[in-house]
């Protein structure tokens, strides 16, 4: 049966680089990888924390060199996402991870944009692009990146903040976020993935973000939770990522269900699906099984994904997607098969 319609709001395009495509691009671009083959590479996907993942993630993305490479990467993601019910995707990219190794900002955006331009007709997915600043690099580098983005602002909806969180609080980027807002860009930031609840407060109070990416550690601070509920601040949770990066031991321990029941505007996303064991439909399927979410709670997650999306410039489309969510029929059985498990 057709998968539940949903938006994906927390997805790093470089995190969709599957081993097969990585090796194909390595051969095409004559990049020598330190793994013999895809099997050996997959064996390295045993992470102890965020940094251990980031080391591999930045290493593997060196195979991405040309606009064609970025277009192929994005098109492959969109095909997989479509098969799992994604109707709208707000896609992160990490420009500094490419400009830092000599790939022009324009090469990255032009390649991604080429795939995104065909996304609606080819995959039935509307898209937005969000450029993330790497928080473990100096704020000056983020400022330079915003400068480099200026010719491409018609393609970029917003700015985000990612990479190694602890020791790099949101306030480090106050100035560049202010400059981004002045350019009309929307604002999000990763906070509370490994960092403390105070980073979530800073992202809201100092950067003025509209959504928090992850926000997992908000649950440690009841006052913060009350504020997030009251202000309807979306949290883009990534449950499979939290387990793989050891923020949480088992998916069964994930606070997603209690966060939903506390009235938080949470969404479910895949983060870096090539590395964390599943795309967003797989993630819905996994949390349904592990946390025993009822079909109506899955519908709430899907509804939230569109409510939290940056479709403010196309309310008609948002209303159409929301109507699809409300009309979705889980069928007579609430078995997991009826929920979401489509694989491309």
Q: Which does 15 bind (CB under 5 to 8 A by kind): Zn ion, ligand ADE, none?
A: ligand ADE
Q: Which does 163 bind (CB under 5 to 8 A by kind): Zn ion, ligand ADE, none?
A: ligand ADE
Interface with Zn ion (CB under 5 A), residue total: 1
- Nearest residue to 122 via CA among 89, 156, 155: 89
Q: Which does 50 bind (CB under 5 to 8 A by kind): ligand ADE, Zn ion, none?
A: ligand ADE
Chain residue at closest Cβ approach to ligand ADE: 162
CB of 143 to ligand ADE, least distance (A): 20
Of 253-312, which residues contact Zn ion (CB under 5 A)? 271
Nearer to Zn ion, 202 or 271 (CB): 271
Residue 165 touches Zn ion, criterion: CB under 5 A: no
- Nearest residue to 97 via CA among 49, 145, 153: 145
CB of 296 to ligand ADE, least distance (A): 29
CB of 10 to Zn ion, least distance (A): 6
Residues forming contacts to ligand ADE in the complex (CB under 6 A) are: 12, 15, 50, 57, 162-163, 190, 193, 241, 271-272
Per DSSP, the residues of 263-327 read T--EEE--BSHHHHT--HHHHHHHHHHHH---HHHHHHHHHHHHHTSS-TT-HHHHHHHHHHHHH
DSSP SS3 for 164: coil
SS3 annotation, 165-220: CCCCCHHHHHHHHHHHHHCCCEEEEEECCCCCHHHHHHHHHCCCCCEEEECHHHHH
CB of 164 to ligand ADE, least distance (A): 7
CB 161 within 8 A of CB 211: no
- Identified catalytic residue from 165, 193, 194, 202: 193
Nearer to ligand ADE, 116 or 247 (CB): 247
Q: Say what angle helices 19-29 and 67-83 make with each other, to 10 degrees.
A: 160
Quote the CA–CA distance of 153 and 74 in Å, as a whole number: 19
Q: Which does 23 bind (CB under 5 to 8 A by kind): Zn ion, ligand ADE, none?
A: none
CB of 287 to ligand ADE, least distance (A): 17
Q: Which does 65 bind (CB under 5 to 8 A by kind): ligand ADE, Zn ion, none?
A: none
Number of other CB atoms surrounding residue 331 within 10 Å: 12
Nearer to Zn ion, 10 or 65 (CB): 10
CB of 132 to Zn ion, least distance (A): 8
CA 257, 259, 260: angle at the middle one, nearest 5? 65
Nearer to Zn ion, 65 or 135 (CB): 135
Nearer to ligand ADE, 148 or 238 (CB): 238
315 is catalytic: no
CA 151, 107, 137: angle at the middle one, nearest 5? 80
Nearer to ligand ADE, 22 or 311 (CB): 22
Q: Which residue has the tokens 């029929």?
A: 329
Catalytic residue positions? 193
Chain contacts with Zn ion (rule: CB under 5 A): 271
């Amino acid at each position: 049966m057709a998968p539940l319609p949903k938006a994906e709001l927390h997805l790093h395009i470089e995190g969709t680089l599957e081993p097969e495509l990585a090796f194909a691009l390595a051969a095409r671009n004559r990049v020598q990888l330190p793994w013999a083959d895809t099997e050996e590479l997959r064996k390295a996907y045993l992470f102890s924390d965020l940094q251990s993942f980031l080391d591999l993630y930045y290493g593997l993305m060196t195979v991405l060199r040309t606009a064609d490479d970025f277009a192929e990467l994005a098109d492959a993601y969109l095909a997989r996402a479509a098969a799992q019910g994604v109707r709208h995707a707000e896609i992160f990219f990490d420009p500094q991870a490419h400009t830092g190794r000599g790939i022009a900002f324009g090469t990255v955006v032009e390649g991604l944009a080429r795939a995104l331009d065909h996304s609606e007709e080819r995959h039935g997915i509307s898209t937005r692009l969000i450029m993330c600043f790497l928080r473990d690099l100096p704020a000056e580098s983020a400022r330079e990146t915003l400068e480099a983005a200026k010719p491409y602002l018609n393609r970029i909806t917003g700015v985000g903040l990612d990479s190694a969180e602890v020791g790099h609080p949101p306030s480090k980027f106050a100035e560049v976020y202010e400059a981004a807002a002045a350019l009309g860009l929307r604002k999000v930031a990763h906070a509370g993935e490994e960092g403390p609840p105070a980073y979530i407060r800073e992202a809201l109070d100092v950067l003025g973000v509209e959504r928090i990416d992850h926000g997992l550690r908000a649950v440690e601070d009841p006052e913060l939770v009350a504020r997030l509920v009251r202000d309807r601040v979306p949290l883009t949770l990534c449950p499979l990522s939290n387990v793989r990066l050891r923020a949480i031991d088992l998916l069964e321990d994930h606070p997603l269900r209690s966060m939903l029941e506390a009235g938080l505007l949470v969404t479910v996303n895949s983060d870096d699906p090539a590395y964390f064991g599943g795309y967003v439909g797989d993630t819905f399927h996994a949390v349904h099984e592990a946390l025993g979410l009822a079909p109506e709670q899955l519908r709430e997650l899907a509804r939230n994904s569109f409510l939290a999306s940056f479709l403010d410039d196309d309310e008609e489309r948002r209303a159409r997607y929301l109507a699809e969510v409300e009309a979705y029929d889980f069928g007579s059985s609430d078995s997991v098969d009826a929920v979401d498990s489509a694989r491309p």
